[in-house]
Amino acid sequence: MIEQMVKWELRRLFKNRKFKIAFTLQLLVILLIIPLFGSYVKALEEGGFFNLSVGGKGYLPIGVSSEKNSLTEIISQNKRFEILWTDQTNGMELLRSGRISALLVLEKDFEEKMRSYGSSSVEVYVNTNNPKSVSAYSELNSILLGFRDGAVETRIRALSIEKPNLELVTQNTQNTPVANTNSVNSPQEQLTVNVTTDSDRPTNFREQIERTRKSFEDERGGYIVLLVLLLPLFLSGGMLIDLLISEKERRTGEMLLALPMKREKIFYSKFISILAIILFQLIFWVIALYYFGRISNPLVIVPLTLTALLLLSITGLIGVYSKNYKDSALIVTVTFILLFFLLFGTSTLYVAGLKEVAVISPLSLVIVIENGTYSLKEAALSILPSLSFSLALIYLSTALYRKDEFYFGPRPSLTELIYEFAGKMKIKDKRYGPYLISLVFGFIAIFISIIFEIFFGIITLYFTESIFAILLLWASIEELSKSIGVFSATKYFPLKWHEGLLAGMASGLGFALLENIIFTVFAINFFPDYAIRVLLMRTFLSGGVHIVSTGIIGMGITNRRYLIPAFIVGITVHLCYNTIVLQGAL
Amino acid sequence: MRIEILYLAKKEFKDIMRERVYILAFLLQLFIVIGIVLIGTSYAYVQNFMDDPNNQGNYLVYSEVEGFSEYLNQELIKTVSLKDPNYSGALPRNVDGVIWAEKNNSIKLLLRDPAKLEDVSEPIKRAYLKASLKNDISNEILNPMNITIHPRNYSYNITDLFFVEIMQTLLIPLILLLPIFLSMNILSDSIVGEKERKTFEILLAAPLKRIEIIIGKILPTFAISIVQIIVWTVVLSVRGISIFNVPLLLLFLSIIMVALFSISIIFSNISSNITESNLFLTLFMMIVTLLMFVPIPVENNFLKEILSYSPIIPIIKIASNPAVNLLDIGRYILIYSGFALFSLIVALKGIANDENIRL
């Protein structure tokens, strides 16, 4: 039956106008990118981005006070300049008003001096209050220096001056003695630069950036390939949502539900049909790009398929949860933006040298495979997290898909779903029930916290740059996330204050346990010598603080009169600890 | 303007504000705006190390030619004098190579990265010639230009250069156009929603002309876009990113809005449901974004001429210059006003057709 449904879905998709347009569009984009690929990468490598950019035309208004000559002709050919021919006095006025970003003043007999092997003075004026003057000066200066060097070369050739011989020596041959050290006339200085030799592991931030730069240079082509290949994935993600939502909007879902088959199979049929289309597209593009020499190893299809699975599992869940297209459109946009940042962020970390962190992204595996340096361990580390996360989401989607409310409404709110999930963990024995719920939600709270801490952390950092504000924000987010467990427990068990305290402590314990495991794994990877210390310190200090702070909040939740004061106290305890730890670290 | 149009606009505004999805979209935009600034900052920071035009590298220099190091500095090569001509130790971390300048018209060069040879060989040779020939030929021959910058102590941070460029030519226009793109969606949803719910007929029964109904629908989205543009301008100014000539910018963006909103109405006219109109709008926005923001290596002169009328050019000119050439901007205003008027007429003609609103 499921095979039949997959066939129906595929037939429906291929007849769908939206699908046809989307498929044609991506075909056009990719076909366009392949021939442009070489010139595009070359332009980027030569720093030609701004020269090619449409908005770059006339971006730099400059004033030129000069007769037309060979130098001004070169400047005029630069499309980024908008040139105003003016005299010096008027030019200075225009510069002050911000109408021009720089003023170039050449002598009247500039051309004549150039031809007669003379020297001419060139004045460049900038207005430091105009942010654009930096660009104008930089662009103008590079032309002036280029012209000057060109003029020197021409004169050297014209006067038949013999150029010095330049010999490139290697580290091994450099010991050739250089004659007559006594005749050195230049000022002798001691070697003042840092003479530390290179090591494999970057030891300062500047060097780290330098490495990143080099990696970007090497991987830039690979990055564009990734972008090209992600296009069909992102477009197809929308198709799955379309298949799921259209049944709700057209009210045809009821008929499907009446079919003599399990509901999850309906979901799987839609999921499989889209996955088949993605696989077909991926195989097509990988073969095409391999044929054109844009990728070196067709095995990249493995991590790309995993990325597709991850994307589909997320869009599948959105499709099941959303009421209508409008609802899903925004969630999809948010999710795609976050996913895009996550996937590319982690693969950027990979080229920056932080392989231990980056390895969790399947896209890092694409880079590794392209480099030909993949190992079984790296492959397993890349595959397992995303695969297990995808499977968990697919399970969640099918669990929701089984529920009538997602078809017939009213759709349960997130809070109701959380309480329902808590209800599944309810055991009759009150001695353990609330604490089990709180403990499990404590584990989950860490993931909720990470997402919100990144999102609001970035916004707060933008506006304040205050580390105190960030610490306060993080303490609040973590305490609010941990309290979800206690709120859920009180839904099923009427708790007294001391039971609320214990439930809060259980939630704090769950949070601290998982947080400690994550921190310790990081420490083992980055600072193996400190791993034990990190584990012990976090267990006894951070663990204790999480337990105490959420315990206090747990008491407040059981007695609503004290809810806000309890939150304030719990967050304050957490904040004090964060501040002390930070001061200690600094 | 008739008061009834304002009533309709007020009702539409309330409807928009009631939609949780739109409120979330505004918040999402804030995150995107901040993310864009962070991208600009990190791009500038990485570029700083990638392509510093003021530094050809740091070299250890052993010279038998007087003044060689000074001329190297003029060629943007930073130098540290080397005492020992037989230096053979490992290269210090911040040093790109060693230069041995000998008297017999020969230079030896050791490079950390041999690929840099092409970049540095000519400047090194020029510096050597200038130093070795300074007593033999007129100084003017090898120094054709004396470049002076005013103010004399002018210096700039290379990170600022890249940050200003990427923000002004790419990211600020993107931030300014984001609210307009979102409003196109809101407007289209509002019109197609009436068609889907079959409520357009009721609206037509109101004492309003069709054009007035459309104005009533455009007004709130227009106001929301303008408010958002002002808010994003303030958000950018928090980080010291200046947007100049805000009133003129708002005027030009308003004209662009009329044109784009009219296109949104045209898409709504030809769409039978929200899915279809969203598809048209997504495709339209993708093409517009591609044409406006993606650098295209165009060789064809006609296409180049067409692209030079891109609305992104006046937006950048107005927003990035403290003072602008009003005549130049006026030309763009005139062209886009004409385009906006034409689009609006086509959109209104479409609305006038009963079939398009499913009567």
pLDDT digits (tens, 9 = 90+) for A311-362: 889 889 988 888 877 777 767 777 776 776 666 666 666 655 566 666 677 7
Q: Is the pLDDT of residue A372 over 80?
A: no
Instruction: Indicate yes or no: CB of A152 within 8 angstroms of CB of B126.
Output: yes
pLDDT score at A295: 74
Within an 8 Å CB–CB cutoff, is residue B313 touching chain A? yes
The answer on A357 and A450 residing in a single domain is no
- Do A235 and A318 lie in a common domain? yes
Residue A432 has pLDDT above 60, yes or no: yes
pLDDT confidence of residue A96 = 94
Mean pLDDT across B262-273: 90
Question: Which pair of structure tokens corresponds to residue B107?
Answer: 């230079």
Tally of structural domains, chain A? 3
Rounded CA gap, A155 and A175, in Å? Answer: 35
β B58-63/B78-81 pair status: parallel
* Banded model confidence at residue A105, pLDDT cuts 50, 70, 90: very high
CB of B204 closer than 8 Å to CB of B352: no
Given this model, what pLDDT does residue A480 score? Answer: 96
| Stretch A207-234: mean pLDDT | 56
Burial of A368 (0-12, 13-18, 19+ CB in 10 A): buried
What confidence category does residue A200 fall into, taking pLDDT thresholds of 50, 70 and 90?
very low
Residue A46 belongs to a domain: no
Q: Which two tokens stand for residue B329?
A: 């901007």
pLDDT per residue as tens digits for the range A58-100: 889 999 999 888 899 999 988 889 999 999 999 999 999 999 9
How many other C-beta atoms lie within 10 A of the C-beta of residue B126?
22
Q: What is the pLDDT of residue B169?
A: 84
Question: What percent of chain B has a predicted confidence (pLDDT) above 90?
Answer: 29
Confidence category of residue A231, pLDDT binned at 50, 70, 90: low
pLDDT of residue A1: 67
Distances (CA, A) of A537 to A527, A541, A548: 15, 6, 16
Q: Pick the range with the lowest mean pLDDT from A334-343, A481-490, B320-329.
A: A334-343
ipTM (interface predicted TM): 0.83
Tell which B residues from 338 to 357 touch A, by Cβ distance under 8 Å: none
- Residue the block writes with tokens 């925004």: A330
pLDDT category, A585, cuts 50, 70, 90? low
Q: Do B293 and A55 touch (CB under 8 A)?
A: yes
Give the range among A1-5, A118-122, B106-110 with minimum mean pLDDT. Answer: A1-5
Q: Which of B66, B151, B278 sits opposite A329 (nearest CB)?
A: B278
**Is residue B61 predicted with pLDDT exceeding 50?**
yes
DSSP letter string over A76-115? HH-TTEEEEE--HHHHHHHHHHTS-SEEEEE-TTHHHHHH
Average pLDDT over residues B116-130: 88
Contact B142 A164 (CB under 8 A): no
Query: What's residue A35's pLDDT?
Result: 58
Asked, for residue A193, whether it belongs to a domain, the answer is no
Among A200-204, A581-585, B151-155, which range has the highest average pLDDT? B151-155
Using CB atoms, which residue from A98, A126, A145 is nearest to B323?
Answer: A98
Domain spans of chain B, in order of start: 3-46+157-357, 58-142
Instruction: Tell me which H or E stretch contains A167.
Output: strand A165-169
- Tell me if A450 is assigned to some domain: yes
C-alpha distance from residue A74 to each of A146, A151, B213 (Å): 10, 13, 55
Check CB contact of B141 with chain A, cutoff 8 Å: yes
Q: Which of residues 164-183 of B touch A (CB under 8 A)?
A: 164-165, 168-170, 173
Q: What is the mean pLDDT of residues A469-493?
A: 93
pLDDT-derived band at A441 (thresholds 50, 70, 90) equals very high
Q: Residue B47: which pLDDT band, with cuts at 50, 70 and 90?
A: low
Question: Which domain, by its residues, includes A227?
Answer: 2-37+211-407
B:55-114 residues touching chain A, CB 8 A cutoff? 58, 60-69, 80-95, 98, 100, 102-103, 105-111, 114
pLDDT at B139: 79
- What are the pLDDT digits (tens) for B170-202? 889 988 998 999 899 889 988 988 888 888 888
- Per-residue confidence at A248, pLDDT binned at 50, 70, 90? confident
Residues A134 and A225 in one domain: no
Residue A480 burial (C-beta neighbours within 10 Å; 0-12, 13-18, 19+): middle
Q: Which of B142, B154, B324 sits opposite A128 (nearest CB)?
A: B154
Residue A411's pLDDT is 82
Closest-CA residue to A443 (of A398, A484, A473):
A484
- Point out the domain boundary residue: A123, A158, A193: A158
pLDDT of residue A458: 84
Nearest Cα residue in chain B from A456: B31
A94 and A224, same domain (yes or no): no
Kind and range of the H or E run holding B80: strand B78-81
- Inter-chain Cβ pairs, chain A and chain B, closer than 8 A: 326
Strand residues in B234-336 grouped as ranges (E): none
Greater confidence, A437 or A381? A437
Which of A375, A407, A439 is the C-terminal boundary of a domain?
A: A407
pLDDT of residue A187: 39
> Taking residues B46-74, what's their average pLDDT?
79
Q: What percent of chain A has pLDDT over 90?
A: 26
Question: Are A274 and A396 in the same domain?
Answer: yes
Question: With an 8 Å Cβ cutoff, are B105 and A162 in contact?
Answer: yes
Verify that A501 and A383 share a domain, yes or no. Answer: no
Rounded-to-integer distance, Cα B339 and Cα B344, Å = 8
Tell me: do A391 and A420 sit in the same domain: no
As separate numbers, helices (DSSP H) first and strands (DSSP E) second, chain A gives 23, 5
The confidence score (pLDDT) of residue A339 equals 72
Q: Is residue A178 exposed (0-12), middle (13-18) or buried (19+ Cβ within 10 Å)? A: buried
User: Which of A520, A58, A494 lies closest to B310 in space, CA to CA?
Assistant: A58
Query: CB distance B88–A174 less than 8 Å?
Result: yes
Whether B218 and B191 have beta carbons less than 8 Å apart is answered as: no
Within this chain, do residues A302 and A338 fall inside the same structural domain, yes or no?
A: yes
User: Is residue A173 pLDDT above 50, yes or no?
Assistant: no
Report the mean per-residue pLDDT for chain A.
Answer: 79
Kindly report the CATH number assigned to the domain that includes residue A130. Answer: 3.40.1710.10
Instruction: Average the pLDDT over A411-435 and give the result.
Output: 81
Domain-terminating residue out of A351, A376, A407: A407
- Please indicate whether, in this complex, the C-beta atoms of A329 and B21 are within 8 angstroms of each other: yes
**A456 and A354 in one domain?**
no
Instruction: From chain A, pick out residues whose CB is under 8 angstroms from the CB of B132.
Output: 164
pLDDT of residue A198: 39
**Chain B residues with CB inside 8 Å of A464's CB?**
none
Whether A13 and A116 map to the same domain: the answer is no
* Residue A548 forms part of a structural domain: yes
A249-282 confidence digits (pLDDT tens) = 777 777 777 777 788 888 898 899 888 888 888 8
Residue B337 clears pLDDT 90, i.e. is over it: yes
> Is B150 in contact with A123 (Cβ distance < 8 A)?
yes
Contact A54 B161 (CB under 8 A): no
Q: Is residue A201 a part of any domain in this protein?
A: no
Is this prediction's pTM over 0.90? no
What is the CB neighbour count within 10 angstroms for residue A424? 9
Task: Report the gap between the CA of B207 and the closest CA in chain A (Å).
Answer: 30
CA-based nearest residue in chain B for residue A185: B66
Q: Are residues A420 and A401 in the same domain?
A: no
Least trusted range by pLDDT, from A129-143, A192-206, B74-88: A192-206
> Are A498 and A569 in the same domain?
yes
Q: What is the pLDDT of residue A183?
A: 34
**Domain-located, residue A142:** yes
User: Taking residues A506-535, what's their average pLDDT?
Assistant: 85
Residue A197 has pLDDT above 50, yes or no: no
Q: What is the pLDDT of residue A347?
A: 63
